[in-house]
Amino acid sequence: MDFMKNKNVSITGGYWKNKEEINRKITMEAVWNRFYETGRIKAFTFDYKEEGKFTVHHFWDSDVAKWMEAASYFIGKGYDEFTERMEYLIVNNQMEDGYFNSFFQYPGKIGGRFSDRNMHELYCAGHLMEAACAYYEATGKDRFLRAMERYAELIEKVFIKEESAAFATPGHEEIELALVKMYKTTGKEKYLDMARFFIDKRGGSKKDYGDRWGIVGVGLYSQSHMPVREQETAEGHAVRATYLYSAMADVAKTDVDEALGTVCEKLFSDIVNKKMYITGAIGSSHLGEAFTVAYDLPNERAYAETCASIGLVFFANRMTALKNDASYADVAELALYNGMMAGLGTKGDDFFYTNPLEICLMHHGKDVSVKQNEWLPITQRKKIFDCSCCPPNLNRVLASIGGMIYGYEGDTLYVNQFAESKGEENGLWVKQKTGYPNDGHIILESNARKLCIRIPSRCNSFTANVPYTEENGYAVIDGGYAEINLGMKPMLVEADPRVYDDYGKAALIFGPLVYCIEGVDNKEIFALSIQSDTSFETEFDEGFGLYRIKAKGIRKNGDGKLYSPLKGEKEDDTLEFIPYSCFANRGESDMKVWIELA
């Protein structure tokens, strides 16, 4: 299938509309302001030529480009508050030969261009290309796109025709998927060829052996340990990995390359069956922000970068498009609602880069031990990070959820996500009315001949008012009108016993949402366990826009002795859960997702 373009889909209400609005009104502004204050905006517009005092970072361009991509999506939907800033930003300092990079164009640095694989030049270029495509699609204005086409031609010349760069493939993938977007936006096959070139070159060039992140395995960090088509397990830096895999899935689809598609399936399977948190977060290790071995999913020291969940969303959506299989969209949903949304505070102006599944403030200690625990993620959201990739990534994803909802192939329409919305593209239209994820009632209307509706794996039941058959995880019905009811009941989930960190524990889910308990609602949460046969009470929380859930559990009482013969003195208690994505919004607090079974 192809996804309906973001600008052809309007989210008209509910959870994602609310997040889109918070993004437009608060998060976009917050990110812009922080980027301005920290010099990112000035660096991008080469203001350093005048002031000469910025310390430009080599991936700042990508930060700004992601914000520009987000702004373009909003402009495409008719919001014009970002137009002036976009015009201000669009690359005015491109070199004669097409090169653009605020770090290497800093006075005295240009000699270093294309000399170091780890300096993010093609990564920044990729993000600029994504922004340029989005801006062109939003406005029809092509100055930005043409600038990026010139840059792409320079890249083709240096990396493909002349092979004159010091490295063969970039240390941080991104250009590959961006080139596919360039192809789709311009129709020029050349960009697809370039994407394919960078994919197939990876892991096969001696030029790239000097991976300075050998600390996480020679080449593993940047998925350069072997040719891409031979890879069977997800390895290394999780964001790099998922950006690469996304491009691979893109190319597998455009080329109808089944072998490459099979590689993508294996990599996806390795992630979701062995290396993914229940929140859809990935990359559990803080060293290298990377995947580690299968089932190594520690909760308290989870790295689980917001961008990695976003990368998984990208990969999952592309696999959905490649395979017409709802199980991929199901993973995208999980990562969106949990791993990704945990990265944004409810007010919309503060962020997590790392997203732990457990916080034990005791382990963070007082003065005496706080520095000991640098391996622990931070416990409160921040306004900006030195490496601030996640906030503008949230900007662009929250501005483009619309583009993840509907797919089509011929006159078949796929409903991949549930959100009150309407879409129209290529002669097909669809309307969806629902209060999901707070309510499982969904009304769909469409002119498609066939309607394929994802059967969500985390709902208890799926019923429709019309007959349906099941195919690749979709309920297939004749087009027109359908009412769906998803069984939305809180449910306890367990992990494979090989996930040692979750042993003897359960997590609470409710539809696509993973829940957690916080100290602010439950006092000493580490003395609590949950009844495996608990009933549940739900209560809507206006602030979160989602349900809270109460469950029955046990609180353990001590006798004041540090160690004593097993007595198991306990009392009944109630556990108050909130959606995991809403944690750490009410002050510093203990938190946990996986709760011991009573």
Residues near a copy of itself (CB under 8 A):
215-217, 220, 235-236, 272-274, 276, 278, 285-288, 290-293, 295-296, 298, 360, 362-363, 365-369, 371-372, 375, 491-500, 503-504, 506-507, 524, 526-527, 529, 532, 556-558, 560-568, 596-597
* Residues present in the chain in total: 598
Which residue number, 273 or 465, has a Cβ lying nearer to a copy of itself?
273
CB of 552 to a copy of itself, least distance (A): 14
Two structure tokens written together for 230: 């031979």
C-alpha 305: how far from chain center: 9
Count of beta carbons in the 10 Å neighbourhood of residue 159: 22
Which residue number, 49 or 212, has a Cβ lying nearer to a copy of itself?
212
**Listed residue (73, 63, 58) closest to 32, CA to CA:** 63
Contacts of 108 (CB under 8 A, 6+ apart): none
Task: Return the SS3 of 25.
Answer: helix
CB of 505 to a copy of itself, least distance (A): 9
CB of 536 to a copy of itself, least distance (A): 13
Contacts of 241 (CB under 8 A, 6+ apart): 173, 223, 234, 235, 267, 291, 311
Which residue number, 206 or 561, has a Cβ lying nearer to a copy of itself?
561
Which residue number, 55 or 369, has a Cβ lying nearer to a copy of itself?
369
Which residue number, 424 or 494, has a Cβ lying nearer to a copy of itself?
494
Count of beta carbons in the 10 Å neighbourhood of residue 552: 16
Which residue number, 55 or 460, has a Cβ lying nearer to a copy of itself?
460
CA distance 498 to 297: 10
Give start and end residues of each alpha helix (H) in 353-471. 361-364, 390-398
Judged on CB neighbours under 10 Å (0-12, 13-18, 19+), 82 is: buried
Which residue number, 28 or 525, has a Cβ lying nearer to a copy of itself?
525
Q: List Cα–Cα distances, 219 to 118, 190, 227, 398, in angstroms.
A: 12, 28, 11, 33
CB of 509 to a copy of itself, least distance (A): 9
Which residue number, 138 or 507, has a Cβ lying nearer to a copy of itself?
507
CB of 503 to a copy of itself, least distance (A): 6
Which residue number, 88 or 375, has a Cβ lying nearer to a copy of itself?
375
Q: In degrees rounded to 5, what are phi and psi of residue 145?
A: -60, -45
CB of 491 to a copy of itself, least distance (A): 6
CB of 202 to a copy of itself, least distance (A): 18
Which residue number, 215 or 259, has a Cβ lying nearer to a copy of itself?
215
CB of 205 to a copy of itself, least distance (A): 21
Which residue number, 363 or 382, has a Cβ lying nearer to a copy of itself?
363
* DSSP string computed for 241-297: HHHHHHHHHHHHHHTT-HHHHHHHHHHHHHIIIIIB-TTS-B--BTGGGB--STT--
CB of 136 to a copy of itself, least distance (A): 40
CB of 476 to a copy of itself, least distance (A): 25
Which residue number, 216 or 326, has a Cβ lying nearer to a copy of itself?
216
Contacts of 85 (CB under 8 A, 6+ apart): 32, 71
Count of beta carbons in the 10 Å neighbourhood of residue 236: 24
CB of 435 to a copy of itself, least distance (A): 24
Q: In degrees rounded to 5, what are phi and psi of residue 24?
A: -65, -45
CB of 565 to a copy of itself, least distance (A): 6
CA distance 252 to 543: 43
Q: List Cα–Cα distances, 454 to 284, 418, 448, 457, 472, in angstroms.
A: 29, 9, 16, 9, 9
Contacts of 84 (CB under 8 A, 6+ apart): none
